[in-house]
Amino acid sequence: MRPEVLNCLFAQSAGLKGVGPGLSRPLERLGLQRIRDLAYHLPERFVQRRAVASLDEAAPGEQIVVALTPREHRQSSGRGPFRVMAEDDIGNIVALTYFGRASYTAKKQLPVGARRWVAGRLDQFGQTWQIVHPDHVSADGAAMLGQLNEPVYGLSEGLTQGRVQALVQQALAQLPHLPEWIEPGLVARMDWPAWHDALQRAHHGHDKAARDRLAYDELLANSLALMLVRESNRARKGTPLHGDGHLRARLSLPFELTGAQKRAIAEIESDLAQGAPMLRLLQGDVGSGKTAVALHAMLMAVECSTQAALLAPTEILARQHAETLQRMAAGTGVTIALLTGRDKGKARESILMGLVDGSIDICVGTHAIFQDAVTYRNLALVVIDEQHRFGVGQRLMLSQKGRRTPHCLAMTATPIPRTLTLAEYGEMDVSRLDEMPPGRQPIDTRVIAQERLGDVIEAIGRHIAKGAQAYWVCPMVREQESADLAAAEARHAMLRERFGHGVEMVHGQMRPEDKDSAMQRFARGEAKLLVATTVIEVGVDVPNATLMVIEQAERFGLAQLHQLRGRVGRGSQQSTCLLLRGDALSETGRERLALMRETQDGFRLAEEDLRLRGGGELLGTRQSGDTPFRVADLDQIARLLPLAHDDARLLMERDGGLSSERGAAARILLYLFERDWGVQLLRGG
């Protein structure tokens, strides 16, 4: 049960003054449905204004507050602006300029002859001072002085700064005082305010100590929850697996295992032999051989007369895995079945029966393999592919399948910096595949100016004429999603006109079956060119696709560029990646593209990406999906996560865990940040 002291924070924001049906959807789009959400909707920046007695004291471009007296209203002809000509206390004239419907409000706020305080950015228009759309107009000078340091919040359509500010202030007024969950010595050493004061201060100015403390709270909650998962997992009963190797001996892989693969297999074999269920993350670049490692692990389970399952995020990826595993395990006699949401009727019933009676050794599929109707005779190992698509809660659901908690091997091809690995997978042991199998040729990566687009299209034509296939990736960034989607469609139309019906397109707004159909046409070689957004970042394996074009490459982060580049170079043929760049290339963008040319080491690129992004810019825009955190930014994660991890361990090992006085406060913290799945694992939690 959530602690009662938090109930006020989890009350719906719909109950606040001024929130009607019209605000519900904009607030929902921003995730501001509760008091807690508003309290943690921290300002993106602050507007610093200076109060001046006259315009002579101000400079063009400066944010000011000044007393003005309107002298004349001027309405332009047609759709021109509405201007209020006003003067300051010594007679300087300034034009307060409004466009569109704002002119109606301006007439009411700024009656001729009535002295008003005006806040806004002072600019020069010809020989005239001008303030376009003043931020605030008030008859109360004292109230206006409260706007000298004004927070600026993230908005969605239908919300204004004033409305969000008012709602945030209402939320802050309802904050309870909570007990301290951080180790007291650390609070004193960092000179951090208490939780209540930190939230208040973070909304009222640039306050590094307050922001760091709030970020630390989130990191501590995450570290503690993952620690609880790890502790709970160790206390569970798993099925010790001591495979004798007779199935693995029958494998005839077309390549020699790398040292990294052999090391990972040995680590997995050691984990599987334990009484507690394995919880291990296998990290490896695209093409580093994770599937072969996973197959060895699953065969260890089958050698012990138990079953294994492989969970993939999409149906097309599940089908690809099933085909690959069946090909690799052809000489072992192991039965591998594919189960997806599309399987119906007798085919589905046959698979379900095979899982129940144990005649199916390995099941590959999407979430369908864990539905309530799916029962296994003796499931002992679950492999989760592309782990970043699944949260901790979904990892925990695996304990509901099998006679005992199954062993879990999670895999990801997304290079993750070590710091973020701790943040997202702190409850797991980690194996890294940092070698590429022999025979893989490096991908020839080149940076080309957008103005050479015609040359690139001609090169695509020559490439296709040789019988090879190619990808063309267009960017999709949330802030401009519709515009980018239109650009992808326009590029597809242009390329289809040039190359005919052998050009397919996939993007995230297509129906799943249409997207899968297009990708399968490309995988079968029926389509020669696939125009796509980043949905192909995790996609099908097409060895014949040896050319990748990434348009506006400067708009992607290094890790994402590396993932996209990994779609080619899947076979023994030489592959090429062309990074088309725009004219407006920042220094960071230039360095990013240079690194792409320089190295194909995904782990190095991930660390460099974190360094280049720092605490502000994130893959060109702030994308929440990059970390599991809402409050902590990348800079804070790098600085504070090790502290939080040590503090969580101190609480669990020295300070009595959640049953101590500080532990009771930490339990509140877990619920506050909705990491209560960590609490639920405790008896009586």
Instruction: Give domain limits for the chain.
Output: 46-152, 248-433, 444-599
Q: Are strands 545-550 and 469-473 parallel, antiparallel or unpaired?
A: parallel
In the predicted structure, residue 228 carries a pLDDT above the cut 60: yes
The whole-number pLDDT of residue 617 equals: 31
Q: Give the CA distances from residue 78 to residues 74, 95, 126, 444, 631, in Å, rounded to whole numbers and listed in that order.
A: 13, 19, 22, 57, 47
Strand, coil or helix: 219: helix
In the predicted structure, residue 622 carries a pLDDT above the cut 50: no
- Second CATH level (architecture) for the domain 46-152: Beta Barrel (2.40)
Confidence of residue 147 (pLDDT cuts 50, 70, 90): confident
For 228, the token pair is 């609880």
Contact between 569 and 437 under an 8 Å Cβ cutoff? The reply is no
User: Within 13 Å of residue 199, how many CA atoms lie on the same side as its CB?
Assistant: 24
Total residue length of the chain: 685
Per the model's pLDDT, the better-predicted residue between 465 and 422 turns out to be 465
Taking residues 99-103, what's their average pLDDT?
A: 83
pLDDT digits (tens, 9 = 90+) for 161-211: 989 999 999 999 999 999 999 999 999 999 999 999 999 999 999 899 999
Structure letter (DSSP) for residue 100: T
The whole-number pLDDT of residue 539 equals: 63
Amino acid (1-letter code) at residue 682? L
Taking residues 102-109, what's their average pLDDT?
A: 88
The whole-number pLDDT of residue 392 equals: 57
Confidence of residue 476 (pLDDT cuts 50, 70, 90): low
Taking residues 425-433, what's their average pLDDT?
A: 84
Strand, coil or helix: 95: strand
Q: Cα(636)–Cα(639) distance, rounded to whole angstroms?
A: 5
Confidence of residue 399 (pLDDT cuts 50, 70, 90): low
Which range among 336-350, 411-425, 554-568 shows the weakest confidence by mean pLDDT? 411-425
Candidate CATH numbers 3.40.50.300, 3.30.465.10, 1.10.10.10, 2.40.50.140; the one for domain 444-599: 3.40.50.300
Q: Cα(211)–Cα(193) distance, rounded to whole angstroms?
A: 10
Closest CA to 578 of 586, 568, 588, 590: 568
The whole-number pLDDT of residue 393 equals: 57
In the predicted structure, residue 581 carries a pLDDT above the cut 50: yes
Q: Cα(56)–Cα(88) distance, rounded to whole angstroms?
A: 10
pLDDT digits (tens, 9 = 90+) for 483-539: 554 477 888 889 999 998 899 998 877 887 888 889 889 989 999 999 988 877 666
Confidence of residue 478 (pLDDT cuts 50, 70, 90): very low
Confidence of residue 681 (pLDDT cuts 50, 70, 90): low
Taking residues 356-379, what's their average pLDDT?
A: 90
Q: Cα(648)–Cα(662) distance, rounded to whole angstroms?
A: 11
Which range among 116-125, 261-270, 473-482 shows the weakest confidence by mean pLDDT? 473-482
Taking residues 609-634, what's their average pLDDT?
A: 57
Closest CA to 89 of 133, 56, 49, 131: 56
The whole-number pLDDT of residue 509 equals: 79
Structure letter (DSSP) for residue 612: H
The whole-number pLDDT of residue 221 equals: 94
Per the model's pLDDT, the better-predicted residue between 620 and 633 turns out to be 633
CB proximity list for 57: less than 8 A, separation 6 or greater = none
In the predicted structure, residue 10 carries a pLDDT above the cut 70: yes
For 48, the token pair is 């610093």
- Second CATH level (architecture) for the domain 248-433: 3-Layer(aba) Sandwich (3.40)
Which range has highest mean pLDDT (429-438, 442-451, 601-610)?
442-451
The whole-number pLDDT of residue 614 equals: 53
The whole-number pLDDT of residue 588 equals: 85
CA dihedral 386, 387, 388, 391 (to 10 degrees): 140
Average pLDDT of the chain to the nearest whole number: 87
Taking residues 148-173, what's their average pLDDT?
A: 92
Comparing 248-433 with 444-599, is the CATH topology the same? Answer: yes
The predicted model scores a pTM of: 0.72
Q: Cα(498)–Cα(590) distance, rounded to whole angstroms?
A: 31
User: Within 13 Å of residue 590, how many CA atoms lie on the same side as its CB?
Assistant: 5
The whole-number pLDDT of residue 394 equals: 56
